[in-house]
Amino acid sequence: MSPTRSADRVTPRTRARRRAATRLGAVTVALGLVGSLLTACSGGSTDAAQPSGKPGGVVIGAVSNGAANQIDVTVPQVDSIRNALPAAVRDSGELSIGIGALPSGYPPLAFIGSDQHTLTGAEPDLGRLVAAVLGLTPVITNATWENLFVGIDSGRTDVGFSNITVTEERKEKYDFATYRKDEIAFEVLKASSWNFDGNYESLAGKKVAVGSGTNQERLLLEWRDKLTAEGKTLDVVYFPDANSINLALASGKIDAYLAPNPSISYHVRQTAGTPKATRVAGTYSGAGSTLQGLIAATTKKGDELVGPLADAINHLITTGVYAKWLAAWNLSAEAVPTSQVNPPGLPRNDS
């Protein structure tokens, strides 16, 4: 089934995109029916994002089932930023936002809400906030990670808000407006006194779980090798799934779990108030020690949309809405001071 979208108005631009989305949906069905139920209810709901009778109103954390602290904010249109938009986007009245969260979603960043319809999460919420600054109706499409980029490449999607890391390879095809740090985090029991201060030596003697084949595993193994050379130990352990890791942490079989900060922050919120509550014991750049990894809004290169997007994000930063958005989703550790256009990205060998 095709990715689904919702909007308050239908324009020629929307109709063309919907015809293209239908063709893409046919290909998706031909490839298989995995995740079809989620696809059927994956469209973002503008009703939940923009309450009736409240121009510029956005509900952050709507229908999140406790993943976020829901708050209402008002984000007035900024004419100077809107006027800088490409004419085709401005005149359409819509901002087509792509999310790559199929088939199962990835809370707290993007997932189907408790109403079984609305695409909620930190990423679609930021897209809705940016659209409000631009005076546009957010039209959100949920697709697979691969089809997210197909949508951007084809022009069906104006911008991707989907935890996309800036890399030098991607910069050849896309423009980026940054909005979060790309961080990994250590999760420990709340009762633990251990903290990671950015120095690998603090890991000596610890037993740490990590996902196989991940960027954080690469960093952890590098730290283990350094400690081994110093005559110290770091026990890196693996488990088949997240539930097994959580049980190991709760039982004391491991000292910490290293994973992307959003997933750690989500689990910390889930365990709050329980006998085995956890906390974040430290974060580190997902790009390693030489570069701060950055997550960015992603557009087709040269389409002249990235500048207004960065301006809109910077407006949200200066007005304090950005900080409220991050805090609502427990992601304040990933705040950036400003949105940058096409900053240095992960080098090709790390992309």
Would you say residue 6 lies in a domain?
A: no
Based on the fold, state whether residues 213 and 202 are members of the same structural domain.
yes
Q: 78 is written with which tokens?
A: 């900024």
Would you say residue 147 lies in a domain?
A: yes
Based on the fold, state whether residues 122 and 254 are members of the same structural domain.
no
Would you say residue 4 lies in a domain?
A: no
Spell out the residues 6+ positions from residue 240 whose beta carbon is closer than 8 angstroms to its own. none
Last residue of a domain, one of 266, 285, 304: 285
Based on the fold, state whether residues 51 and 171 are members of the same structural domain.
yes
User: According to the model, what pLDDT value does residue 350 have?
Assistant: 52
Q: Which residue has the tokens 């940016």?
A: 130
- Among the listed residues 321, 310, 308, 331, the one whose alpha carbon sits nearest the alpha carbon of residue 60: 321
Based on the fold, state whether residues 44 and 124 are members of the same structural domain.
yes
Last residue of a domain, one of 250, 269, 285: 285
Would you say residue 351 lies in a domain?
A: no
User: According to the model, what pLDDT value does residue 54 have?
Assistant: 65
What are residue 260's phi and psi, to 5 degrees? Answer: -55, 140
Based on the fold, state whether residues 68 and 155 are members of the same structural domain.
yes
Q: Which residue has the tokens 């939940």?
A: 48
Based on the fold, state whether residues 221 and 312 are members of the same structural domain.
no
Instruction: Return averaged pLDDT per consecutive 10 residues of the chain, 351 residues in all.
Output: 41 47 37 33 40 73 96 98 98 98 96 96 98 98 97 98 96 99 98 97 99 94 98 98 96 98 97 97 94 98 98 99 98 98 88 47
Based on the fold, state whether residues 178 and 212 are members of the same structural domain.
no
User: According to the model, what pLDDT value does residue 47 have?
Assistant: 38
- Among the listed residues 158, 111, 122, 164, the one whose alpha carbon sits nearest the alpha carbon of residue 138: 158
Last residue of a domain, one of 269, 285, 301: 285
Based on the fold, state whether residues 195 and 324 are members of the same structural domain.
no
Would you say residue 144 lies in a domain?
A: yes
**Do 110 and 158 meet the contact criterion of CB atoms below 8 Å apart?**
no
Q: 255 is written with which tokens?
A: 């000292």
Based on the fold, state whether residues 220 and 266 are members of the same structural domain.
yes
Domains held by the chain: number: 2
- Whole domain around residue 163: which residue ranges? 12-182+293-346
Residue 262, Cα to own-chain centre: how many angstroms?
A: 8
Based on the fold, state whether residues 141 and 165 are members of the same structural domain.
yes
- Among the listed residues 184, 203, 214, the one whose alpha carbon sits nearest the alpha carbon of residue 288: 184
Inter-helix orientation angle 306-319/321-328, to 10°: 80
Would you say residue 3 lies in a domain?
A: no
Please write down the HEC assignment for all residues of the chain. CCCCCCCCCCCHHHHHHHHHHHHHHHHHHHHCCCCHHHHHCCCCCHHHHCCCCCCCEEEECCCCCCCCCCEEEECCCCHHHHCCCCHHHHHHCEEEEEECCCCCCECCCEEECCCCCCEECHHHHHHHHHHHHHCCEEEEEECCHHHHHHHHHHCCCCEECCCCECECCHHHCEEEEEEEECEEEEEEECCCCCCCCCCHHHHCCCEEEECCCCHHHHHHHHHHHHHHHCCCCCEEECCCCHHHHHHHHHHCCCCEEEEEHHHHHHHHHHHCCCCCCEEEEEEEECCCCCCCCEEEEEEECCCCCHHHHHHHHHHHHHHCHHHHHHHHCCCHHHCCCCCCECCCCECHHHC
Based on the fold, state whether residues 196 and 313 are members of the same structural domain.
no
Would you say residue 132 lies in a domain?
A: yes
Would you say residue 2 lies in a domain?
A: no
Could you tell me the CATH number of the domain that includes residue 280?
Answer: 3.40.190.10
What is the average pLDDT score of the chain?
88
Based on the fold, state whether residues 266 and 237 are members of the same structural domain.
yes
User: According to the model, what pLDDT value does residue 18 have?
Assistant: 43
- CA angle at residue 27 from 25 to 32, to 5 degrees? 95
